[in-house]
Amino acid sequence: MHTRTWIGNDIVDLGEPGVAGKELDLRFMERVFTPEERRRILDAAAPTLALWRTWSAKETAFKIASKLREGVIFAHRRFEVGPDRTGDSDGATGLTAGNWVSVWFEDLEVQVRWETALDYIHCIGRLARRGSDLAPIGLEAPRGPRRLLAGIVSNGQGLGGALTSAERASVHSTASERARLLARELMARWDVQGAEIVRMWRAWRWSPPVIAREGEPLAGFDVSLSHDGRFVAAALVGPA
């Protein structure tokens, strides 16, 4: 894959069984979170929300890491979520300034932020650093400034359009199909002719979804899909 602007996203349905009060499950807490993460979650004014924000940050970072590392296993505690900090101004990448939190995995730094609503948490992340890189990865993108598009739909909201045969080959559930239809609606704003959201075979497994044309990933674009309970979400990055 050719693009250097990598993104991930994750959505949590706060109405799903087992979500409320999960911070009281000590075995779960010790398996998933580092001691420092557990302390911040339990000290938070709303521990349940803090838990699922931290969880979604790990999921988001894992989705990015799996695009860059062969055979990455989601060992939750290896994805370390830092404390909140004020985000930097980011006009160069086209991602608006906000409260960004860093998630570290090996030599990767992923920056995430959240939208927290009454019934869901949506996390979006971007690759910020890799190895000895000192500048945001987005600055190196081949098509200049980046534009991030994201959307969320619930079960009661209709989605138009249709998937291509190649896109349908990646569908494994109704939610999977709806996430791709949502992503296609967002992608239409770029008017990229012949673009599809597909998974591609790599040496060790199928890739995460990519934006491709004629079987080749499109440089300068990336996509991330997620679904949980009543919601599906999609995030895409491309030209400003």
CATH number at residue 143: 3.90.470.20
Sites in the chain below the pLDDT cut of 70: 1-4, 85-98, 132-145, 203-204
Structure confidence at residue 159 (pLDDT) = 92
Q: Which of 25, 99, 103, 124 is nearest to 58 (CA)?
A: 103
Give 70's contacts (C-beta < 8 A, 6+ positions apart): 202, 203, 204
Residue 158 lies in a domain: yes
Residue 127 lies in a domain: yes
Please state, in angstroms and rounded to a whole number, the distance separating the CA atoms of residues 198 and 182.
14
What kind and span of H or E run contains 158? Answer: none
Neighbour tally for 24: CB within 10 Å: 11
Structure confidence at residue 86 (pLDDT) = 45
Residue 1 lies in a domain: no
Would you say the pTM of this structure is higher than 0.85? yes
Structure confidence at residue 204 (pLDDT) = 64
Residue 84 lies in a domain: yes
Q: Give the count of domains, the chain.
A: 1
Residue 44 lies in a domain: yes
> What Rg value do the Cα atoms of the chain yield, rounded?
17
Residue 46 lies in a domain: yes
Structure confidence at residue 85 (pLDDT) = 61
Domain assignment of residue 68, given as a range:
7-239
Which letter does DSSP use for residue 206 in this model? B
Residue 12 lies in a domain: yes
